[in-house]
Amino acid sequence: MIARMWHGMTLRTKADAYTDFLNATAIPDYRSTPGNLGVQILRRNEGDRTHFVTLTFWESLETIRGFAGDPVDRAKYYPQDREFLLEFEPDVQHWNVVGSAKP
């Protein structure tokens, strides 16, 4: 299993609206892609900014490619992201999952 990690940042005043967008649009998009094994979105406030980390879990790099295209390590953005994000980090990180446990 491979974890794909993306980071983005918005103004804290827009964080609730961005959370709503992620839950309504991004999560269903990830989950509808063959090979997606799950998604977690993390949120942390820091002053007037809010950070988001999206962790998605995939069967393989090939299934990630079906979601993100090539190059596979490039971030995928939605048109609505322009309303929220302060910058557009170009790349994501991929990690091999070597252990896990469910609560």
Share of the chain above pLDDT 90, in %: 96
Q: How far is CA 58 from CA 15, 28, 40, 100, in A?
A: 26, 15, 12, 14
Residue listed under structure tokens 């309303």: 83
Cis (ω within 30 of 0) for the bond into 71? yes
Q: What is the pLDDT of residue 12?
A: 98
Rounded to two decimals, the pTM is 0.92
Share of the chain above pLDDT 70, in %: 100
**Residue 57 parent element (H or E):** strand 49-58
For the segment 27-46, the average pLDDT, to the nearest whole number, is 96
At residue 100 the predicted structure's pLDDT band, cuts being 50, 70 and 90, is: confident
Q: In order of start, what are the domains of the chain with their CATH numbers?
A: 2-96 (3.30.70.100)
| pLDDT at residue 36 tops 80 | yes
